[in-house]
Amino acid sequence: MINCIKVDLPKNKIVIAKSGKSNIKYVYYILKSYRNEKGQPTGKTISIGKYDEEENKLIPNDNFFEIFDCEIQVEIKGLKKLKVKNKWTKKN
């Protein structure tokens, strides 16, 4: 995970949840939602990164780049700009 990259939160199918006793919040992408045998809503999620509360942004992890086709431009001092696709469309 590259912690210096921050992206906008996806508009749909996400959940922001606090992890255990720490104050760190993570963003989860909902892969599937359904009702279990008791009729309670449940679903399958995957973590796509950490939530930055100050900027309302996502610090993406590898799962984010696997799920979304993205283009992000990053400039690091003394290095050339790095481009990664960012179309916010789910890969099929």
- Reported as a pLDDT band with limits 50, 70 and 90, residue 39 is very high
Asked if the model's pLDDT at residue 1 lies above 50, the reply is: no
SS3 call for 91: coil
The rounded distance, in Å, linking the Cα atoms of 92 and 89 is 9
The verdict on pTM exceeding 0.75 is no
Question: What does the block give as tokens for 29?
Answer: 């992408």
Asked if the model's pLDDT at residue 80 lies above 70, the reply is: no
